Every structure is written in structure tokens, then in C-alpha cells.
């Protein structure tokens, strides 16, 4: 009799184990099919009879629905039944990051790593917590460890150069961007971001050929990345290969006429940068042309080391000059509430000639032919 009862008990336990595996598999399939609402509606109230991994998938449905509080609740319920599944701690860490509770996130990621130290995801999540807390050294350490794991994910590769940038190590940042370029998938937006940062860094370092290579590859992959058009134009202006910049200028004007440019490209684009004394000169060209009206077409912003625009020199359409058959543009300056006019130039000027005039104005080698006082001057800031 005891043998019969024991056999029946074993059968019931086996059946129960099978049914628990079955519900876990069912929830896993539904989760992978993105049936998050169905999971929540049909299973969220049955956790008492479900195994830990099944509860985990209910929590993941809340995670994907961005219901952070319920996500954490169900991860905790899963942990209460089985406390050595690192994925539950990882998802808690990710959710705490989204909630801005970074210290709690760090503890969750560290617990996941304690259970399984071979996951790139866990270390990357830990790096994100430290990065947001501006502890860039610890973030860098975590990201580097993430890249050393088998099947390393893309994110830490792009975050390492950002951590170096925050630590004011631009050379290491650029080296890391090149490493990221070799490691991450070319099919992702992260690869585009890496190319842009390489192009921008090499441009600022005046390594124009390297910047050219990166930006050309980027534009080939994404012809609608118009900020990269502006940067490659700056590359050719840095190399004084102005003719090579023209096709990219035309593309920007076409995009402007279609109304697809956004942000700081909506009205103008930066086509050159150079240094004068301790200032940065950023040179912009406006798209719009207001025939018969006064407008500024080419603008040389004088920027200090705080990123503030101190004053500007520009080409100004002169309707009166055009009516008299004289050159189209006057070269003027707005500084400290005073507007000054210096010389006139033809519409089809050579850029080197205009730049030379601007530098002479900056060096006070040319006196204004006319000046007028405006209202109180204000400092501006502009993103290039």
C-alpha cells in the first residue's frame, strides 16, 4: 500500500513539474511574440501557482509596456521563489535606471554579476548607472569589462569613448571610436554615430583626409544625415578644395527647399571654422535669399572659450548698392551694440578673399566706412 501511494505521489509531482514547465514555455513564446497585453490580462493574477521563470516573463511584459513599478514587483515575486536567476536582477537594474534610482540599479546589476559574471549586458547596465551618476572612471571600468565578454553587445563599445570624453581624454576617446568602428554592427544606428564622431574628431584635429573617409562612408550609408554634409564641407574648406564642397552644398540647399532640414540646420549651416588669437571663428551661410531686402548671408561668429558669441562679421545684401550697379554685398560687423560697414564685394567672390577681409577687420587693419549704434548688445550661444 505504501509503495502504491509513493508511486502516485511521484506521478503527481512529475505532472506538476511538467505543467509548470509548460506554462513557462507558453509565456516565453507569447513574450517573444510580443503579446504583452495578453500575458498581463491572462496571467498576472495567477502567480501563486506559477514557477519563478513564468513570473519573470509576466514581469518582462510589464517591462516592455514601460510599467516600471509592476515590472519590479513581479521581478521581486520571481526572486522570492528562486533567487539565483541573474536575469531578474538585471531587469530590476535596467528598470531602476529608467526610474533614475541609480544606486538601487547598481546593487541589482552587482547581484546579477555575482551570480553570472560572463554577461556583457550586466556590465554594460552597470556602466550606464555609473555614467549617469557622473562616476566616469567606474563607468569606464564596467564598459571595458563588458567588451571583454564573449558575444559582447555593441553599447559598451560606443560608451567607452564617451566616458573618455567626459574624463577629458580626447585621444583615448578617438582611439576607442576606431575600436568601436571595427567591433559593432554596420547595420545599426550606433555605427552611424561612431562614424560621425570619428569624422568630427578628425576634423577638429585638422586630420582632414581621415575625416573625409569617415564622413563619406557615413553619407553613403545614410544620405539623409545632413549634419554630416555640413561637416564634410568644412573638411574641404579646411583643405581649400572648395570645388569638392559644392555638391554637398547643393544637397543641403535641395533639402532646405524641400523643408526637411531641422534644428540648427533649418536656416543655415556651418561651412568653415578657424582660429583667430584665442577665439574660434565659426562661419555660417544662410539658405534664404531676400531679394530687395537687407539680410545677412555669410556670418563669421567670434566665439570665446565659454562657447559665447562675442560679436559677428557678415556679408550684407545691399539693395541700394545693387540699384546703383555696385557690388551686391557689404561686409559689416555687429559688436557691442554698434553696427559698422567696411567694404563692398561682388556676389561671386572667392572665399579666401572674404576670409582675408574678415581677418583684417579682426586685426583692426581696416577702418569702417560707416557706423551706427544699436540697442544694448547681448551675448549669444550657437551650436555648430
pLDDT recorded at residue 7 = 41
C-beta contacts of 16-20 below 8 A and 24+ residues apart = 20/50, 20/51, 20/54
CA atoms within 13 A on the CB side of 166: 15
Instruction: Render pLDDT for 62-87 as a digit per residue (tens, 0 to 9).
Output: 999 999 999 999 999 999 999 999 99
pLDDT recorded at residue 317 = 84
CA-based nearest residue to 283, from 242, 337, 341, 343? 242
Q: Assign 294 to helix, strand or coil.
A: coil
DSSP 8-state secondary structure symbol assigned to residue 154: S
Instruction: Render pLDDT for 3-57 as a digit per residue (tens, 0 to 9).
Output: 444 343 444 333 344 466 888 999 999 999 999 999 999 998 888 889 999 999 9
Q: Structural domain boundaries of the chain?
A: 267-384
pLDDT recorded at residue 3 = 44
164 pLDDT above the threshold of 90: yes
How many residues in total does the chain contain?
384
Instruction: Render pLDDT for 359-373 as a digit per residue (tens, 0 to 9).
Output: 999 999 999 988 888
| CA 157 vs CA 90, 154, 176, 221, 294: distances in Å | 19, 6, 7, 20, 49
| CA 200 vs CA 37, 177, 213, 218, 271: distances in Å | 44, 11, 11, 12, 13
Phi, psi (degrees; rounded to nearest 5) at 105? -60, -45
Packing angle of the helix pair 86-99, 102-115 (nearest 10 deg)? 160
Instruction: Render pLDDT for 296-325 as a digit per residue (tens, 0 to 9).
Output: 999 999 999 999 999 999 999 876 666 666
Q: Which residues fall within 8 angstroms of residue 367, CB to CB, at 6 or more apart?
A: 342
In our burial notation (b when 16+ CB lie closer than 10 A, e otherwise), range 165-184 reads beeebeebbbebbeebbeeb
pLDDT recorded at residue 291 = 67
What nine digits make up the cell of 210?
Answer: 581621415
Phi, psi (degrees; rounded to nearest 5) at 275? -100, 140
Neighbour-count burial of 368, counting CB atoms closer than 10 A to its CB (0-12 exposed, 13-18 middle, 19+ buried): middle
Q: How many Å apart are CA 154 and CA 180, to the nearest integer?
A: 8
pLDDT recorded at residue 21 = 81
| pLDDT bracket for residue 378 (50, 70, 90) | very low
Instruction: Render pLDDT for 322-339 as a digit per residue (tens, 0 to 9).
Output: 666 667 788 999 999 999
Instruction: Render pLDDT for 189-230 as a digit per residue (tens, 0 to 9).
Output: 999 999 999 999 999 999 999 999 999 999 999 999 999 999
pLDDT recorded at residue 321 = 61
Q: What is the gyration radius of the CA atoms in the chain, in angstroms?
A: 30
Q: Taking a C-beta distance cutoff of 8 angstroms, is the pair 249, 230 a contact?
A: no
Q: How many Å apart are CA 281 and CA 310, to the nearest integer?
A: 10
Share of the chain above pLDDT 70, in %: 89
Q: How many Å apart are CA 150 and CA 147, to the nearest integer?
A: 8
106 pLDDT above the threshold of 90: yes
pLDDT recorded at residue 194 = 97
DSSP 8-state secondary structure symbol assigned to residue 375: S
DSSP strands (E only) in the chain: 268-276, 279-286, 296-303, 308-317, 329-335, 338-345, 370-373, 380-381
Q: How many Å apart are CA 152 and CA 124, to the nearest integer?
A: 9
Which residues lie across from 301 on neighbouring strands? Answer: 282, 312
Q: How many Å apart are CA 347 and CA 318, to the nearest integer?
A: 11
What nine digits make up the cell of 213?
Answer: 573617409
Q: How many Å apart are CA 40 and CA 202, to the nearest integer?
A: 50
118 pLDDT above the threshold of 80: yes
Amino acid at each position: 500500500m505504501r509503495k502504491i501511494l509513493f508511486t502516485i505521489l511521484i506521478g503527481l509531482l512529475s505532472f506538476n513539474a511538467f505543467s509548470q514547465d509548460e506554462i513557462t514555455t507558453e509565456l516565453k513564446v507569447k513574450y517573444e511574440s510580443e503579446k504583452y497585453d495578453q500575458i498581463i490580462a491572462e496571467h498576472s493574477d495567477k502567480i501563486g501557482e506559477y514557477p519563478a521563470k513564468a513570473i519573470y516573463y509576466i514581469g518582462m511584459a510589464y517591462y516592455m509596456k514601460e510599467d516600471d513599478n509592476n515590472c519590479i514587483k513581479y521581478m521581486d515575486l520571481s526572486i522570492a521563489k528562486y533567487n539565483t536567476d541573474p536575469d531578474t536582477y538585471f531587469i530590476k537594474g535596467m528598470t531602476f535606471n529608467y526610474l533614475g534610482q541609480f544606486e538601487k540599479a547598481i546593487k541589482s546589476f552587482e547581484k546579477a554579476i555575482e551570480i553570472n559574471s560572463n554577461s556583457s549586458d550586466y556590465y554594460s547596465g552597470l556602466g550606464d548607472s555609473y555614467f549617469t551618476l557622473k562616476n566616469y572612471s567606474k563607468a569606464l571600468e564596467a564598459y571595458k569589462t563588458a567588451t571583454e565578454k564573449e558575444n559582447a553587445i555593441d553599447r559598451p563599445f560606443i560608451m567607452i569613448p564617451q566616458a573618455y570624453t567626459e574624463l577629458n581624454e580626447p585621444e583615448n576617446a578617438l582611439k576607442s571610436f576606431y575600436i568601436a568602428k571595427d567591433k559593432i554592427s554596420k547595420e545599426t544606428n550606433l555605427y552611424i554615430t561612431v562614424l560621425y564622431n570619428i569624422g568630427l574628431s578628425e576634423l577638429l584635429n585638422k586630420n582632414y583626409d581621415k575625416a573625409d573617409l569617415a564622413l563619406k562612408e557615413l553619407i553613403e550609408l545614410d544620405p539623409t544625415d545632413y549634419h554630416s554634409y555640413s561637416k564634410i564641407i568644412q573638411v574641404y574648406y579646411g583643405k581649400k578644395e572648395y570645388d569638392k564642397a559644392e555638391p554637398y552644398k547643393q544637397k543641403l540647399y535641395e533639402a532646405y527647399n524641400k523643408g526637411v532640414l531641422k534644428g540648427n540646420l533649418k536656416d543655415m549651416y556651418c561651412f568653415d571654422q578657424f582660429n583667430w588669437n584665442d577665439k574660434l571663428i565659426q562661419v555660417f551661410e544662410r539658405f534664404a535669399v531676400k531679394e530687395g531686402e537687407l539680410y545677412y548671408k555669410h556670418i563669421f561668429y567670434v566665439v570665446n572659450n565659454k562657447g559665447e558669441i562675442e560679436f559677428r562679421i557678415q556679408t550684407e545684401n545691399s539693395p541700394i548698392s545693387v540699384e546703383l550697379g555696385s557690388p551686391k554685398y557689404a561686409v559689416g560687423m555687429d559688436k557691442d551694440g554698434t553696427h559698422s560697414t567696411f567694404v563692398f564685394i561682388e556676389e561671386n567672390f572667392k572665399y579666401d578673399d572674404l576670409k582675408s577681409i574678415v581677418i583684417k577687420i579682426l586685426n583692426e587693419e581696416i577702418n569702417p566706412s560707416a557706423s551706427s549704434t544699436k540697442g544694448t548688445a547681448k551675448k549669444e550661444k550657437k551650436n555648430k
